[in-house]
Amino acid sequence: MNSLKDEIQKTKTELEHAIKQASNEESLETIRITYLGRNGRITTLMESLKKLSLEEKRLVGPLLNDLKLCAESLWCERGQVLMHEHLCQEAKRQEHFDVTVYRPNTALGSLHIYTHIIRQIEDIFTSMGYARADGPEIETEYYNFDALNIPAIHPARDMYDTIWISDFSNMLLRTHTSPVQVRAMEERGAPLAVFVPGRTYRHEATDATHDFMFSQVEGLFIDKNVSIANLIATSKAFLSALFEVKDLAIRVRPSYFPFVEPGLEIDFSCPFCTTGCSLCKKSGFIELMGAGLVHPHVLRCGGIDPDIYSGFAFGFGLERLAMIKYGINDIRLFHGNKLSFLEQF
Ligand code: DAH
């Protein structure tokens, strides 16, 4: 029994010494395993208690208990001290950083060209009192065609190489942003002034000026006594602001779209030359949008009385506009992941 008592004392002294020496978390953990672990020294001492008589147990038991409690609390205290020291060191280390080593993050992202051009368009139209409207890209045949005066047998359907959703006979990916005209009329009523930037889809082969997914911007203005003059003035104001040209001229040519009557194509004077360049094909004018006065059928589908209200609508390709403005020669770059292209904007 006396030898056990000596062993307890010896263990305590050694433990105290070891803990004092522990200088990091790992050495502290080794001490815990050596003394308090499942096969540790204190645990083994506890085991040997079993062999003693009741009398002896009464004497040695409390000593062993003390040793165990003492070991646990010394171990915890030392852990806290080490943690504190570590935090202080870390704070000191951070205090002394070398500013000349700082390198700016050169891999910062940039806004996509879509975001840039849509923001510019948004600024111009909202300054003219237009609100932005949106509609679904998965559209019904009704909104994409019928409500726009293009019934199933109409030859104009051929103009729109449609991607149909195979499981639903009357669902498709919208071929233009014009379906949002009728949705906006239904939702907001007249008078109305909205512009609609959005993605559109066509089942066609891609090349430098065509993509199966592209974007359009639709415009719709409805009020009493709206005429072609309002349409021309609006297009002129919009394009002058976008290209930052004061005397931009608008040219109007007759055209046909089932949802407008009369239908027009609007061209604008080339903002980049006076004598003719490759962009305007030496004509001095660039073709941009389809437009016209909203057909009575479309107004009626939107719940608006064509005897009281009239309106104009227009639509153009967003990529085409951006390509003209920034001199981009391939529409596929918009959806490609070429960083050297994307980082320019
Ligand atoms: N939706 C037509 C297209 O994709 C473009 C268009 C033409 C829109 C005339 C209009 C419009 O609003 O009045 O070809």
Structural fold of domain 113-342:
BirA Bifunctional Protein; domain 2 (3.30.930)
H helical segments located in the chain: 2-21, 25-31, 41-48, 54-95, 113-127, 141-144, 179-188, 228-243, 296-301, 318-326, 339-342
What value does the mean pLDDT take over residues 49-61?
Answer: 84
Q: Is 320 in the pocket of ligand 1 (CB under 6 A)?
A: no
- Which of 214, 259, 312, 318 is the pocket-test mutation for ligand 1 (most atoms within 8 Å of CB)? 259
For residue 1, what pLDDT band results from cuts at 50, 70 and 90? low
Predicted local confidence at residue 139, as pLDDT? 98
What value does the mean pLDDT take over residues 203-226?
Answer: 96
Q: Determine the atom of ligand 1 nearest the C-alpha atom of 260.
A: 13
CA distance 249 to 267: 8
Which residue is closest in CA terms to ligand 1's atom 3? Answer: 176
Position 251, amino acid: R
Strand order in the sheet with 192-201: 131-132, 192-201, 213-223, 310-317, 285-294, 260-269, 250-255
Indicate whether 62 pLDDT > 90.
no
Q: Is 260 in the pocket of ligand 1 (CB under 6 A)?
A: yes
Digit-coded pLDDT (tens) for 305-325:
999 999 999 999 999 999 999
Indicate whether 132 pLDDT > 80.
yes
Q: Is 202 in the pocket of ligand 1 (CB under 6 A)?
A: no
Contact 312, 228 (CB under 8 A): yes
For the chain, give the percent of residues with pLDDT over 90: 60
Q: Which of 228, 204, 206 is nearest to 330 (CA)?
A: 206
Phi, psi of 39 (to 5 degrees): -110, 20
Q: Is 315 in the pocket of ligand 1 (CB under 6 A)?
A: yes
User: Ligand 1 mean position to 315 CA, how many Å?
Assistant: 4
Predicted local confidence at residue 213, as pLDDT? 96
Distances (CA, A) of 274 to 29, 283, 285, 324: 83, 10, 10, 16
Indicate whether 275 pLDDT > 90.
no
- Which of 145, 289, 293 is the pocket-test mutation for ligand 1 (most atoms within 8 Å of CB)? 289
Q: Which of these ranges, 60-74, 114-128, 221-235, has the smallest mean pLDDT?
A: 60-74
For residue 169, what pLDDT band results from cuts at 50, 70 and 90? confident
Q: Which of these ranges, 149-163, 169-183, 187-201, 281-295, has the smallest mean pLDDT?
A: 149-163
Indicate whether 332 pLDDT > 70.
yes
Predicted local confidence at residue 331, as pLDDT? 96
User: Ligand 1 mean position to 130 CA, how many Å?
Assistant: 18
Whole-number average pLDDT of the chain: 92
Predicted local confidence at residue 286, as pLDDT? 95
Domain ranges across the chain: 2-95, 113-342
Q: Is 290 in the pocket of ligand 1 (CB under 6 A)?
A: yes
Q: Which DSSP letter does residue 207 get?
A: B
- 235 C-beta neighbours (distance < 10 Å), count: 24
Indicate whether 83 pLDDT > 80.
yes
Contact 280, 286 (CB under 8 A): yes
SS3 assignment, position 289: strand
Higher pLDDT, 220 or 26: 220
Digit-coded pLDDT (tens) for 111-121:
999 999 999 99
Q: Which of these ranges, 28-42, 255-269, 284-298, has the smallest mean pLDDT?
A: 28-42
Q: What percent helix, strand, coil does the chain show, rounded to 5?
A: 50, 20, 35
User: Ligand 1 mean position to 292 CA, how many Å?
Assistant: 9
- Which of 160, 174, 176, 196 is the pocket-test mutation for ligand 1 (most atoms within 8 Å of CB)? 176
What value does the mean pLDDT take over residues 57-83?
Answer: 87
Q: Tokens 């171990």 — which residue?
A: 75
Q: Is 215 in the pocket of ligand 1 (CB under 6 A)?
A: no
User: Ligand 1 mean position to 316 CA, how many Å?
Assistant: 7
User: Ligand 1 mean position to 194 CA, how many Å?
Assistant: 15
Indicate whether 133 pLDDT > 90.
yes
